[in-house]
């Protein structure tokens, strides 16, 4: 069985066993060949009874269909689909509606497969707006068309696909976890389509048992468009915030005396957070009682249209009861279809007794800290103890000296609670106020129940310290336990409470009880939820809120005022505040969850809360010093950053002239820019701020004209640009060094942009490729210097480099004049913020090295050839000399034998003479060959081919005439060559004489000689129509010494050896083509020494 057939059988077996459709396979006589488990369940006919039985006998309704639709003829060209067909599949069950598909099962069209799909499930699958898939062992065993379309597959491609192959790496882990843990909640991730594109998806699933198998039904939605809309909304809000939150005065918007918006500056004036003001107060709550009538009158005038805008002074009361004087301005605007007041408040309260108040507060704090009846510890950001109060020492039995500079977690945390302590510390370090009940350990090893308040201390946006407040709740715990166990009282409160309350067992999440408010909020009855697990109800709109709640519950077993969105039974979304507490009922650990429906409140507040969060982030991230100057150049207001930078206290800064912060040589410049603000409304300059200690700090100073109560002020901001200045100097230095290195490097260097276009080239590059930098700027490097046959290589190299990988490649590139130059290329990517923004291409000319390598290669090949020839020469000469010498010795021994007659000696002497002549001929051949090798150092001269041919024809004139040979030549393309004259004469003589000697028996010799230039060599082509030879047998030995392939013709077998020796000795080579009885062609490549 071949691999394709095996794969097909595996796929069919998966289809039969995993499909949710009923499937059978029959032959053309309707005999059953396959019967899957789903069909067994539907028909109640086991597979072993169905196989080899007649389909018509088992299910008679199919015989009617078979004949009515003329099967199998009706499916010869396309599948047959029958919808809403009524079938009785067994004798006990009434008819049901099915969708049927008939198609040929094999390419020979001898088997028919039928798919039966019960209407209800398939209709749900195909009408769903979500992609739906059924997963078993991570594999898709069924799915709807929407899922196939979502991922860009044909259904047959998707079947049996591993679901994690349809998602990117981070999402794979979520998918595996949701399947392994039977996770029912929504989660988000990134899908990968067939074409490789990615898109955002929302996924949730449920585990069901289908046909006896545990399978997971997954629902997948494409949320890419939703993500884009949310991003666009964020961008729009960002632009609005930058514009609206730059104000240095309090800004408000109210409607019917209810705040709709306050900016951070107004919240600061009132000592509240913006959301506190919006959620808890109306405008009159802050107006001094004596000014309330005035305020209402001004507002009404604007609402009635008597005034478009108004400006008046007002007294307000902040959070602490302090009276502040403000200048109020306001105008009527249309907001959410109703008239509203949009205005500003400028705090004009004089700053008095700030230092005195600070001292008083410090004294009060110290007394409160030391005398507090609860344990307090101050920690640094590394969790090390800086200070503890007396109560803390009494709680834990340590003195402050013993605790100083020690990590608090290493002193009082029991071993089993280190993880809990780490989680608490992490949250506080993130700026979260944290409260938890837990256990801590005294110095003597005993444990104490405590309520811990973790309070982060934030100064100017930076966390500097942590306060840990410990309350001994040992007695409270006992009291709380007694109260919890008072079930009767609890039950009355529980069911009468207006809040939604639910109690669930911790170990399995089963709901033990819910009150009426819970039923009203959720839309479920008590009977529907009691006894069921909370995980069975898809309450959570945002799975991250659920995860956050679970994490908090696991960490501290209590949650306070957790905000979330939930679905009701009717599918509507409600906003809730919920609190969760761990309790014990009947000895079992449970969670009690109390929820308040805040949907209506959230509708009004959600937008403003988002704006407030954005505004807080913006304001808290602003750098630099801020200051306010009056027209007399007096400093009337400033931020704490100015104190830190200048080294002056608030008292020292009060009323100071701004020029006092600058050296004499810059004072006039500063005064000029101050006057420019009051004249033109704006100024920006650089100057050096002079600190109290005499240090100079470079600043970028910006001033705006600000008007208040008819007075003009300069609102200024300064940014410390020390690091920028140092960076500029360093960049300038590096730029000079880089330019010098770039331009003077002995190699070609080019800088490319992201599209491989040139924007800088050094002198080395210009010299190497013969271009001026100006003529190639903006040109694509591949189009400029890459030869056509190396375009694909260049694309591959560029792709590698632009993915961030450096490369080294040896290749060829093309100069401006079209010539090629061998180069070693270094591709160096330039990264910025994780992205490749440019490429350095470094080109090293390796022409000289390549020539040396080529010469070395040729010399090595020549040495190998010479060595082989020497070995061959030694072998042949020793063989050819040994035979006559041995024969001569034998004849001499015979000659000196006394037993032979004088006549016989005469015959022996005659043979001795023959052997001596043979030996002499061999020695002459050896001397001739050695002489040829010595001639390689002879001078080279220009030789005309025609002249040389005429000379050889004269030498061979008799042979040419006797054989009737015809010699034709064409030397037009290469008339001459610089060569050793004797070598060229020998080549002509040997090859022409051989052409005559080995002529065909039935035709006179025809010899054609031609020359041309080929790849730097001169090609001498000699073609003849002689006997030819079998090169498959003889080509390897054709040029060996004393090799003869026509023994019936006189010769020594040295001619071809001599020709090859001469050609090879001067750096050329020889090739040959031949056919028996057709002739032979020699191709002699001669190195031309004129170049």
Query: What DSSP assignment string belongs to 661-690?
Result: GS-HHHHHHHHHHHHHHHHHSEEEEEEEEE
Asked if residues 485 and 492 have their Cβ atoms less than 8 Å apart, the reply is no
Per-residue H/E/C for 267-334 = HHHHCCCHHHHHHHCEHHHCECHHHHHHHHHHHHHHHHCCCCEEEEEEEEECCCCCEEEEEEEEEEEE
Q: Where are the alpha helices (DSSP H) in 745-790?
A: 763-769, 773-776, 781-785
As a whole number of angstroms, the distance between CA 562 and CA 545 comes to: 9
At residue 197, φ and ψ (nearest 5 deg) are -70, 155
Q: Which residues share a beta bridge with 330?
A: 310, 343
pLDDT at 121: 45
In Å, what is the CA distance from 558 to each residue of 493, 544, 554, 555, 902? 20, 18, 8, 8, 138
Q: Which residues share a beta bridge with 582?
A: 591
Asked if residues 383 and 407 have their Cβ atoms less than 8 Å apart, the reply is yes
Asked if residues 1072 and 1035 have their Cβ atoms less than 8 Å apart, the reply is yes
As a whole number of angstroms, the distance between CA 30 and CA 67 comes to: 11
Q: Which of 946, 1024, 937, 1015 is nearest to 983 (CA)?
A: 937
In Å, what is the CA distance from 87 to each residue of 60, 134, 285, 384? 9, 26, 77, 79
Distance of CA 741 to the CA centre of its chain: 34
pLDDT at 236: 55
10-residue mean pLDDT profile of the chain (1091 residues): values are 48 70 90 89 85 91 87 83 74 66 83 75 58 84 85 87 89 86 81 91 74 70 76 59 65 89 88 91 92 90 79 88 88 85 83 56 75 88 91 91 90 89 87 89 92 87 88 76 59 74 86 87 86 81 77 75 83 85 83 84 68 45 74 84 84 81 90 91 90 90 86 87 80 74 82 88 90 91 91 85 83 92 88 80 88 78 65 53 60 73 74 64 56 62 91 86 92 92 86 88 93 92 90 70 57 72 84 91 90 68
As a whole number of angstroms, the distance between CA 230 and CA 223 comes to: 11
Asked if residues 215 and 136 have their Cβ atoms less than 8 Å apart, the reply is yes
Distance of CA 286 to the CA centre of its chain: 54
Q: Where are the alpha helices (DSSP H) in 941-980?
A: 945-955, 957-963
Q: Please report the domains of the chain, with CATH numbers, ordered by start residue.
A: 12-127 (3.30.450.20), 132-237 (3.30.450.20), 244-347 (3.30.450.20), 354-476 (3.30.450.20), 508-604 (3.30.450.20), 624-720 (3.30.450.20), 726-845 (3.30.450.20), 938-1087 (3.30.565.10)
As a whole number of angstroms, the distance between CA 539 and CA 565 comes to: 8
pLDDT at 914: 66
Q: Which of 844, 798, 842, 841 is nearest to 822 (CA)?
A: 844
Six-digit token string for 206: 């449920």
Helices (H) and strands (E) counted in the chain, each on its own, are: 39, 42
Q: Supply angle C-alpha 389, 390, 392, rounded to 5.
A: 70
Helix, coil or strand: residue 943: strand
pLDDT at 21: 80
As a whole number of angstroms, the distance between CA 964 and CA 1025 comes to: 13
As a whole number of angstroms, the distance between CA 459 and CA 381 comes to: 13
As a whole number of angstroms, the distance between CA 65 and CA 1085 comes to: 83
As a whole number of angstroms, the distance between CA 399 and CA 784 comes to: 80
Q: Compute the half-sphere exposure of residue 203: CA atoms within 13 Å on the CB side of its CA.
A: 28
As a whole number of angstroms, the distance between CA 87 and CA 68 comes to: 14
At residue 765, φ and ψ (nearest 5 deg) are -65, -45
Q: Which residues share a beta bridge with 311?
A: 329
Q: Which of 116, 94, 128 is nearest to 22 (CA)?
A: 116
pLDDT at 242: 59
As a whole number of angstroms, the distance between CA 543 and CA 521 comes to: 19
DSSP category for residue 777: T
Six-digit token string for 980: 């050793």
As a whole number of angstroms, the distance between CA 283 and CA 295 comes to: 9
As a whole number of angstroms, the distance between CA 375 and CA 370 comes to: 9
The answer to whether the bond into 72 is cis (omega within 30° of 0) is yes
774-787 burial, b at 16+ Cβ within 10 Å, e below that, comes to: eebeebebbebbbe
pLDDT at 3: 43
As a whole number of angstroms, the distance between CA 626 and CA 701 comes to: 10
pLDDT at 618: 41
Where would I find the beta strands (DSSP E) of 709-804? 711-720, 748-752, 758-761
pLDDT at 211: 45
As a whole number of angstroms, the distance between CA 433 and CA 424 comes to: 10
């Amino acid at each position: 069985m071949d691999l394709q057939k095996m794969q097909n059988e595996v796929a069919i077996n998966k289809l039969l066993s995993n499909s949710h459709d009923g499937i059978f396979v029959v032959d053309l006589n309707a005999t059953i060949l396959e019967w899957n488990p789903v069909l067994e369940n539907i028909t109640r006919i086991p597979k072993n009874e169905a196989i080899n039985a007649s389909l018509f006998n088992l299910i008679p309704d199919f015989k009617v269909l078979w004949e009515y639709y003329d099967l199998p003829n009706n499916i010869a060209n396309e599948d047959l689909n029958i919808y809403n067909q009524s079938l009785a599949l067994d004798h006990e069950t009434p008819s049901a509606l099915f969708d049927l598909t008939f198609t040929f099962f094999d390419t020979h069209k001898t088997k028919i497969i039928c798919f039966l799909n019960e209407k209800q499930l398939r209709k749900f699958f195909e009408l769903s707006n979500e992609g739906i898939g059924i997963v078993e062992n991570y594999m898709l065993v069924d799915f709807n068309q929407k899922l196939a379309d979502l991922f860009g597959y044909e259904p047959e491609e998707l079947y049996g696909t591993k679901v994690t192959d349809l998602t990117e790496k981070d999402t794979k882990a979520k998918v595996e976890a949701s399947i392994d843990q039977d996770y029912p909640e929504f989660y988000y991730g990134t899908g990968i389509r067939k074409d490789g594109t990615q898109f955002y998806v929302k996924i949730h699933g449920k585990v069901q048992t289908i046909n006896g198998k545990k399978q997971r039904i997954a629902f997948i939605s494409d949320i890419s468009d939703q993500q884009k809309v949310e991003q666009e909304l964020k961008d729009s809000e960002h632009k609005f915030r930058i514009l609206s939150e730059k104000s240095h005065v309090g800004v408000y918007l109210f409607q019917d005396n209810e705040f709709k918006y306050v900016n951070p500056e107004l919240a600061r004036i009132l000592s509240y957070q913006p959301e506190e003001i919006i959620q808890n107060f109306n405008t009159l709550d802050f107006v001094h009682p004596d000014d309330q009538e005035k305020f209402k009158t001004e507002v009404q005038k604007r609402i009635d249209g008597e005034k478009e805008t108004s400006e008046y002074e007002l007294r307000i009361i902040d959070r602490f009861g302090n009276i502040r004087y403000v200048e109020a301005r306001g105008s009527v605007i249309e907001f959410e279809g109703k008239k509203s007041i949009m205005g500003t408040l400028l705090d004009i309260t004089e700053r008095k007794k700030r230092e005195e108040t600070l001292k008083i507060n410090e004294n009060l704090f110290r007394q409160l800290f030391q005398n507090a009846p609860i344990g307090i510890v101050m920690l640094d950001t590394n969790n090390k103890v800086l200070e503890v109060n007396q109560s803390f020492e009494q709680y834990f039995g340590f003195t402050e000296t013993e605790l100083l500079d020690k990590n608090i977690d290493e002193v009082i945390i029991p071993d089993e609670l280190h993880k809990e302590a780490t989680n608490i510390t992490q949250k506080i370090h993130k700026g979260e106020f944290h409260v938890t009940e837990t256990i801590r350990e005294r110095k003597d090893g005993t444990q104490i129940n405590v309520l811990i308040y973790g309070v982060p201390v934030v100064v100017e946006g930076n966390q500097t310290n942590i306060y840990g407040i410990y309350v001994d709740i040992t007695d409270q715990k006992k009291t709380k336990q007694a109260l919890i166990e008072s079930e009767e009282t609890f039950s009355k409160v529980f069911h009468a409470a207006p809040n939604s309350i639910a109690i669930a067992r911790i170990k399995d999440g089963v709901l033990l009880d819910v009150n009426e408010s819970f039923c009203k909020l959720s839309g479920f009855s008590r009977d529907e939820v009691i006894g069921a697990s909370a995980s069975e109800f898809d309450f959570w709109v945002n799975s991250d809120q659920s995860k956050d709640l679970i994490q908090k519950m696991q960490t501290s077993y209590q949650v306070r005022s957790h905000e979330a969105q939930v679905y009701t039974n009717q599918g509507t979304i409600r906003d809730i505040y919920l609190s969760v507490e761990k309790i014990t009922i009947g000895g079992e650990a449970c969670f009690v969850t109390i929820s308040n429906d805040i949907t209506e409140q959230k509708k009004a507040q959600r937008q403003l809360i988002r704006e407030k969060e954005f505004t807080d982030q913006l304001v808290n991230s602003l750098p630099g010093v801020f200051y306010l100057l009056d027209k007399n150049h007096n400093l009337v207001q400033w931020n704490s950053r100015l104190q830190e930078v200048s080294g002056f206290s608030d008292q020292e800064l009060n009323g100071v002239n701004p020029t006092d912060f600058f050296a004499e040589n810059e004072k006039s410049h500063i005064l000029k820019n101050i006057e420019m603000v009051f004249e033109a409304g704006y100024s920006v300059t650089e100057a050096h701020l002079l600190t109290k200690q005499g240090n100079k700090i470079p600043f970028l100073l910006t001033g705006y004209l600000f008007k208040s109560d008819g007075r003009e002020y300069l609102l200024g901001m300064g940014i410390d640009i020390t690091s920028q200045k140092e960076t500029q100097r360093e960049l300038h230095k590096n730029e000079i060094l880089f330019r010098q290195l770039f331009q003077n490097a002995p190699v070609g260097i080019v800088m490319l942009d992201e599209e491989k276009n040139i924007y800088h080239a050094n002198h080395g590059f210009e010299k190497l490729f013969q271009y001026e930098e100006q003529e190639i700027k903006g040109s694509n490097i591949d189009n400029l210097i890459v030869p056509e046959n190396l375009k694909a290589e260049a694309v591959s190299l560029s792709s590698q480099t632009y993915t961030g990988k450096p490369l080294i490649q040896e290749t060829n590139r093309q100069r401006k004049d079209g010539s090629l130059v061998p180069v070693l290329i270094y591709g160096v990517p330039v990264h910025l913020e994780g992205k490749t923004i440019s490429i350095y291409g470094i080109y090293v000319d390796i022409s000289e090295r390549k020539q040396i390598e080529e010469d070395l290669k040729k010399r090595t090949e020549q040495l190998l050839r010479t060595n082989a020839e020497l070995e061959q020469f030694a072998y042949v000469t020793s063989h050819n000399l040994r035979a006559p010498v041995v024969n001569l010795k034998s004849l001499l021994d015979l000659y000196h034998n006394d037993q032979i007659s004088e006549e016989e000696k005469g015959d022996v002497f005659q043979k001795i003479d023959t052997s001596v002549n043979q030996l002499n001929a061999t020695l002459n051949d050896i001397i001739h060959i050695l002489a040829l090798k010595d001639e390689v150092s002879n001078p080279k001269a220009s030789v005309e081919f025609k002249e040389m041919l005429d000379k050889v024809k004269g030498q061979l004139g008799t042979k040419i005439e006797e054989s009737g040979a015809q010699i034709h030549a064409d030397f037009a393309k290469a008339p001459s060559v610089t060569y050793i004259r004797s070598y060229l004469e020998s080549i002509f003589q040997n090859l022409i004489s051989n052409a005559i000697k080995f002529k065909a028996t039935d035709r006179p010799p025809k010899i054609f000689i031609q020359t041309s230039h080929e790849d730097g060599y001169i090609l001498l082509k000699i073609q003849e129509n002689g006997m030819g030879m079998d090169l498959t047998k003889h080509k390897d030995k054709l040029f060996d010494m004393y090799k003869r392939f026509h023994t019936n013709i006189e010769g020594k077998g040295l001619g071809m050896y001599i020709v090859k020796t001469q050609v090879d000795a001067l750096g050329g080579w020889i090739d040959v083509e031949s056919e028996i009885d057709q002739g032979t062609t020699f191709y002699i490549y001669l190195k031309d020494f004129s170049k």
